[in-house]
Homo-oligomer: A and B are copies of this chain.
Amino acid sequence: MLDLVGTFAFALNGALTAIRVVDVDLVGVLTLGIITAVGGGIVRDVLLGALPPATFVDWRYLAVAGAGGLLAFLFSRELRRLRVSMHVLDAAGLSLFAVTGAGKALELGAGPAQAILLGALTGVGGGTVRDVLIRRVPDVLRTGLYAIPALLAAALVVLTSGIGVDRVLGAPAALAAASVCFAVRMIGLRFHLNAPRPRGVPRRPPGGTA
């Protein structure tokens, strides 16, 4: 259920980003919304060898993602004014996906480091694929705290699973991990926090040069 909320949030936000950045038609808006929503889960499942991917096989994910994309198409003007709510929805999606992604990776036998990476990848993967398709250097590689809260939440999932907490306190532990991710992401947005950058490299216009 929470997973579907995250899917909807990601599809809506992903489609709105696409509309804002490039000229896309209905096909493009729906495609990019769906890819943002289910792409991270697909990449995770490919890397786990859990094919066909769950988010592709389960029609509810595709339906909810398609609905989010359609809403973005129909009401892009209105929705763009709600940028703060979009940030909140996106942070919620990131937190939920990182936690469920890490949990699924553990279930399928991934090691701790792999589960942490796959959890974060579930959160950031869909947006990254969308950015590649609309010809942007993915934000997650450049600015803000996006991968770091996702890695943090996934690490908490792996930790609580490792010490056996998740068997007694499964749902609350998952919720706590998601909350940490959400809080770090929102604090990062509010105070414009960034991960450290390489020394001695001058800032360049976004996208860089070829």
A25-B141 contact given A46-B46, A47-B52, CB 8 Å threshold: yes
Q: Does A137 contact B (CB under 8 A)?
A: yes
Do the beta carbons of B57 and A53 come within 8 Å of each other?
A: no
- A199 neighbours in B (Cβ, 8 Å): 76-77
- Determine if B198 and A114 form an interchain contact, defined as CB atoms under 8 angstroms apart: no
A40 CB, min distance to chain B CBs, angstroms: 14
The reply to whether A19 and B198 form a contact with Cβ atoms under 8 Å apart is yes
Query: With an 8 A cutoff between CB atoms, is A158 at the interface?
Result: no
Tell me how far the C-beta of A31 lies from the nearest C-beta in chain B, rounded to whole angstroms.
6
Is A21 positioned at the interface, with any CB of B under 8 Å from its CB? yes
Q: Which of B25, B62, B206 contacts A194 (CB 8 A)?
A: B25
Size of A's binding interface in residues, CB under 8 A:
63
CA distance A57 to B115 in the complex (A): 10
Chain B residues near A135 (CB-CB < 8 A) = 135-137, 207-208, 210
Would you give the shortest CB distance from A36 to chain B, in whole angstroms? 13
Whole-angstrom CA separation of A207 from B208 in the bound complex: 12
| Total copies of this chain within the assembly | 3
User: How many angstroms from the CA of A207 to the CA of B103 in the assembled complex?
Assistant: 38
Tell me if A147 counts as interface (CB < 8 A to partner B).
yes
- Quick one: given A137-B22, A198-B19, are A111 and B59 in contact (CB under 8 Å)? yes
Among the stretches A89-97, A126-134, A161-169, A177-185, the one at the interface with B is: A126-134
Known: A48-B51, A59-B114, A77-B199. 4 other contacts (CB 8 A): A23-B204, A62-B114, A76-B200, A77-B200
22 contacts between A and B (CB under 8 A): A21-B209, A22-B204, A23-B204, A25-B196, A27-B141, A27-B195, A28-B140, A28-B141, A29-B198, A42-B47, A46-B46, A49-B51, A57-B111, A59-B111, A62-B114, A76-B198, A77-B199, A133-B141, A134-B208, A135-B136, A135-B210, A207-B210
